[in-house]
């Protein structure tokens, strides 16, 4: 597999939502939330990239744009060289088979009235896989995610499975059509710690075995680090920093990334209790600061930050959107 | 400092379900020293929230305290009449719920909700309540002008600060916080924990912090109590429990937890299996079915909680071998071989 081949290319992607109805508009109060605002990056085939950020930073919106669950209001997204904007009908169905989502909450991601067999048959039906092949494909997918003795699960309902088992089923469903690209949106955030590790290990293992290209969306840098060699840090719809995860963990450059890394809780009694290098309170997304969106919480902000939006620039192994670099 | 504020002895809480019952808490014994933060840690369904709720005696309709004592400064609050208990709530024991979004009433301003506690529970007049409300907002770092705002006008972190202000309104001795930062982003989480610690030190109160997250325990707690399947498996000073875990479950939790301070190449090791169904708990140690060190006796006899070193107690038949088991537990193979 050529590891230099670009599989996904995002160019200046935007997802803007209008908020407030007609009445608000009459009062001149209607506004726009820029959930994703000018995001550009590329994914090589076989690469795993973490999309890291806090609630409202646009990471989930970006994931939805990549899967065309949401239509970009601007910019372009290419998959294997083809634009996905404007895909319809059979071409869209084909794309959907190649690009899959692994949901956050396994209990919300499956129909409680479907058995595991029915849950896993559905994508096969949609892809018009012949009936006689389906059972075998289902068993293969369940074995892939390391559910022991898969047959015993086929006739069970979701509530009869533990969270960890069900998340593996959700993963199996995403993988059953042999996608090239998966977006995993906080796939273990609903699971207990003792079980989480198992699901993460399966995810890593499957990705490596199938050579999947993956986006791992999370607010937890420790988890992203476990799964992804590269991390993209987002804040208020924009990329703040993008680079090798280890570099970001050990020497974060962007002031926001510094605060984020310092805030990650670690399970050791001896750790820094220094105040975080960040101002309190995220800004109103309808009314972000001018210039750099992080400047009102940034301890290093200076005049230029208010007047000029910092572009994402190459700084060594990384890209950083900060006037300091 | 080492004086005990709350002493829980052999607490049992039963939920009636269908024809039978579940002992969600099956003999919990631990102490809360005055002026300390005690982390009650465990996974979903281990009974940690049930213990917290039992301490306030505000429980689900089908829950009942079926045994044990909860001694608050010597008074068994499990045994006192409801009227007397009600007088303790807010004044002596206050509660910070997991989701402040759901605990604040959306149709009233936060000032109204604060003054309700201050006036009804604290017997304050309108003016006094106003002054105290402003003082409380000042303590938790919110502008006084925002007292007249409604809950939806606050961000998640701010709402959690409001919930802390509410809990501290009448200077309680004990604050029980149920996953107070779970729904929050890491930066806000850290800021709220810092705030909680600062106020706890300033006011000299005791806090029971219920959490599933051992890193939250490591960051803020003085003591920790680890629960598994309705029982306490390990308890003691936070540093001792986290650096020298002596119960295999605590050891396993440490392995499963991603650690940003550790090496990148480290593997996370899950604890295979799932906690037991409490309708039919296994005889003996409840962790035995998932424990790589389980002996014959573990599946038959329930291990008592015994003191390993001063203040550090463990419920494990092999607690004396803890140092050796710790070394083995650090190896992934140990847990894989068991699976």
User: For residue B249, what is the nearest residue in chain A, using CA coordinates?
Assistant: A194
- pLDDT value of position A20: 67
Measured CA to CA, the distance from residue B323 to residue A262 in angstroms comes to 32
Contacts of A111 (CB under 8 A, 6+ apart): A118, A119, A158
**A263 vs B186: CB contact, 8 Å cut-off?**
yes
The answer to whether B271 and B290 have CB atoms below 8 angstroms apart is: yes
Contact A235, A228 (CB under 8 A): no
Judge whether B209 and B38 are in contact, CB under 8 Å.
yes
Q: What is the reported pLDDT for B32?
A: 97
**pLDDT at residue B267 greater than cutoff 90:** no
Pairs of CB atoms within 8 A across A/B? 117
Of chain B, the percentage scoring pLDDT greater than 70 comes to 98
ipTM of the complex: 0.85
Q: Determine the residue of chain A that is closest to B43 in CA distance.
A: A192
Residue A195 confidence class, pLDDT cut points 50, 70, 90: confident
Q: Which residue has the tokens 């006036």?
A: B119
Least CA distance to B268: which residue of chain A?
A197
Q: In this model, does residue A285 exceed pLDDT 90?
A: no
- Predicted confidence at residue A3, as pLDDT, reads 59
Per-residue pLDDT of B98-148, as tens digits, reads 776 678 898 999 999 999 999 999 999 999 999 999 999 998 888 899 999
pLDDT band at residue B1 under the 50/70/90 scheme:
very low
pLDDT over 90, % of chain B? 72
Question: pLDDT by residue (tens digit) across A97-156?
Answer: 999 999 888 888 999 999 999 999 999 998 899 999 999 999 999 999 999 899 999 999
Nearest CA in chain B to A218: B185
Residues of B with CB under 8 A from a CB of A: 43-44, 141, 155-158, 185-191, 194, 212-216, 218-219, 238-239, 242-243, 252-261, 264, 267-272, 274
Mean pLDDT of B26-48: 94
Shortest Cα distance, chain A CAs vs residue B156, angstroms: 10
Chain B residues inside the 8 Å CB shell of A249: 260, 264
DSSP annotation string for B128-192: HHHHHHHHHHHHTT--GGGGGS-GGGS-HHHHHHHHHHHHHTT--SEEEEESTTTTS-HHHHHHH
Contact list, B215 vs chain A (CB under 8 Å): 265-267
Q: Is the pLDDT assigned to residue B265 strictly greater than 70?
A: no
Given the DSSP bridges, would you call strands A213-218 and A230-235 parallel, antiparallel or unpaired?
Answer: unpaired
Mean pLDDT, residues B217-225: 96
The reported pTM is 0.90
Chain A positions in Cβ-Cβ contact with residue B152 (cut-off 8 Å): none
CB contact under 8 A, A194 and B194: no
Contact B136, B220 (CB under 8 A): no
What pLDDT does residue A10 have?
97
């Amino acid at each position: 597999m050529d590891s230099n081949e670009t599989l996904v290319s995002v160019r200046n992607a935007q997802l803007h939502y209008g908020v407030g109805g007609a009445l608000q508009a009459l009062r001149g109060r209607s506004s726009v939330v820029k959930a994703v605002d000018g995001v550009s990056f590329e994914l090589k085939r076989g690469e795993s990239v973490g999309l890291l950020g806090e609630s409202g930073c646009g990471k989930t919106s970006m994931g939805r744009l990549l899967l065309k669950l949401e239509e970009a209001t601007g910019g372009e997204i290419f998959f294997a060289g083809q634009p996905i904007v404007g895909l319809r009908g059979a071409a869209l169905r084909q794309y959907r088979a190649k690009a899959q989502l692994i949901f956050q909450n396994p209990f919300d991601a499956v129909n409680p009235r479907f058995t595991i067999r029915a849950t896993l048959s559905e994508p096969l039906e949609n892809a018009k896989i012949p009936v006689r092949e389906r059972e075998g494909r289902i068993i293969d997918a369940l074995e892939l995610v390391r559910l022991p003795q898969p047959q015993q699960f086929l006739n069970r309902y979701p509530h009869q499975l533990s969270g960890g088992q069900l998340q593996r089923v959700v993963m199996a469903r995403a993988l059953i059509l042999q996608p090239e690209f998966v977006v995993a949106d906080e796939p273990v955030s609903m699971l207990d710690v003792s079980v989480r590790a198992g699901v993460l290990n399966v995810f890593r293992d499957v990705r490596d075995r199938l050579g999947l290209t993956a986006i791992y969306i999370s607010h937890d840098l420790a988890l992203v680090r476990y799964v992804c060699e590269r991390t993209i840090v987002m804040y208020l719809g924009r990329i703040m920093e993008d680079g090798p995860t280890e570099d970001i963990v050990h020497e974060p450059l962007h002031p926001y990334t510094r605060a984020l890394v310092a805030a990650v809780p670690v399970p050791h009694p001896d750790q820094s209790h220094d105040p975080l290098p960040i101002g309190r309170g995220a800004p109103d997304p309808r009314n972000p600061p001018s210039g750099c969106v992080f400047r009102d919480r940034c301890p290093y902000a200076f005049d230029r930050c208010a007047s000029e939006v910092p572009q994402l620039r190459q700084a060594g192994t990384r890209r950083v959107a900060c006037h300091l670099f | 400092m080492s004086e005990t504020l709350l002493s829980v002895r052999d607490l049992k809480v039963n939920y009636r379900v269908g024809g039978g019952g579940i002992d969600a808490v099956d003999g919990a014994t631990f102490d809360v020293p005055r002026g300390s933060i005690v982390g009650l840690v465990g996974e979903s369904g281990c009974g940690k929230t049930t213990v917290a709720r039992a301490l306030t005696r505000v429980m689900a309709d089908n829950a009942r305290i079926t045994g044990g004592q909860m001694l608050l400064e010597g008074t068994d609050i499990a045994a006192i009449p409801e009227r007397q208990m009600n007088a303790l709530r807010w004044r002596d024991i206050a509660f910070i719920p997991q989701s402040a979004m759901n605990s604040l009433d959306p149709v009233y301003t936060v000032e109204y909700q604060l003054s309700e506690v201050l006036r009804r529970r604290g017997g304050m007049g309108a003016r006094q309540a106003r002054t105290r409300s402003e003082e409380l907002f000042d303590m938790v770092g919110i502008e006084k002008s925002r007292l007249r705002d409604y809950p939806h006008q606050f961000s998640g972190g701010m709402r959690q600060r409001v919930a802390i202000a509410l809990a501290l309104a009448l200077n309680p001795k004990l604050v029980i916080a149920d996953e107070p930062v779970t729904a929050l982003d890491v930066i806000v989480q850290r800021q709220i924990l810092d705030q909680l610690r600062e106020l706890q030190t300033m006011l000299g109160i005791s806090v029971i912090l219920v959490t599933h997250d051992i890193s939250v325990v490591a960051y803020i707690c003085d003591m920790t109590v680890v629960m598994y399947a309705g029982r306490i498996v390990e308890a003691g000073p936070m540093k001792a429990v986290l650096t020298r875990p002596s119960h295999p479950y605590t050891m396993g939790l440490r392995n499963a937890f991603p650690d940003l301070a550790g090496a990148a190449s480290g593997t996370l090791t899950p604890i295979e299996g799932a906690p037991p169904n409490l309708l039919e708990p296994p005889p003996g140690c409840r962790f035995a079915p998932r424990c790589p060190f389980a002996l014959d006796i573990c599946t038959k006899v329930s291990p008592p909680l015994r003191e390993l070193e001063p203040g550090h107690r463990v419920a494990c038949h092999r607690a004396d071998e803890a140092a050796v088991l710790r070394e083995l537990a650090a190896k992934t193979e140990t847990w894989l071989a068991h699976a």
